[in-house]
Structure 1
Amino acid sequence: MRIEDRDDFVDVVAQAVIDKIEERDRITGLVEMVVSRVLAMQKAEAELKEAAEAEAAMGTEDAATKTATE
């Protein structure tokens, strides 16, 4: 292998490595974005569920109070 060919080969391999790193970084960014959105949706769902349960508990307490006063 000639030195020029070797240098070209090294350049090609180096560029391939750089491309793989950039691809991995891009995929990592997408994964982080998806995970962040899923966690935000789960948090919102938990907050809604908690609010609904609190509202239902208040309704039960109101009904019990109304029955006791009658």
Structure 2
Amino acid sequence: MCDAQGVSVAAWIRRSRLERCRRDLVDPLLRSRPIHAIAWKWGLTDPAHFSRSFRVVAYGMSPRDYRRLATEPVHG
């Protein structure tokens, strides 16, 4: 499945876990849940590695910054 698309199974799993974390980070019902607890829930147990992967591999910013920007009220 993944190899035919040029993506390793490990990379696909990592990307899927990061995406699940991203969704939880912006979920208003999970706003009070600590970031490390969200990462842990999806199998990312090393907070530093999670933060680095989230920033470098997936979203270009830290999980904290992503959550803050995604949940700030829009003024206009």
TM-score (norm 1): 0.32
Determine which structure has the larger helix proportion and give its number: 1
TM-score (norm 2): 0.29
Computing the radius of gyration from Cα coordinates, the structure with the larger value is 1
Greater relative contact order (CA < 8 Å, ≥ 6 in sequence): 2
